[in-house]
Amino acid sequence: MTDLEHWAAVTGCQQAIHGFYLALDGGDFDAVAACMSAHGVWHRQGRALQGPAEVRAALADRPAGRTTAHLVQNLVIDLDGPDRATARYMTLVYRVDAAAPQAGPVPMPPPLSISLHHERLSRTPDGRWLVDEKQGQRRFGN
């Protein structure tokens, strides 16, 4: 793997992770589900969500008035081969649960949590990086 191929793979993984959280915070649950590989597992809130359909179904149960912001920090990507990678990073999460969706900015709450995440990704034949496994461990929280 050339340096250019290496850094293109690292950047592709970073984009996949950031795209996942941007879609999640934007309420685009189809896009979140599309970030998962067909056999991907997201360990979320005590459940193992397997594949895009289970991820989409779980997110459909989120309260309609929930607004979140997941700030991804300290992102490190280790390539395990040309088409496999492991990621480690922290998230700082803010969340507001309102009775209904809010039109403008919501009041700024204190942080909900800081979590450490481990993620495995794989590259598809068309070059997209998808999540094979996503898990997090809360380090700080209210």
Phi and psi at 132, nearest 5°, equal: -95, -35
Domains in the chain: how many in total? 1
The pTM of the full predicted model, rounded to 2 decimals, is 0.96
- For the chain, state the CA radius of gyration: 16
Domain that holds residue 10: 3-141
pLDDT at 103: 86
CATH number at residue 74: 3.10.450.50
Residues 18 and 69 sit within 8 Å (Cβ to Cβ): no
Nearest-10 Cα torsion for 79, 116, 120, 16: -80
Residue 58 has pLDDT above 90, yes or no: yes
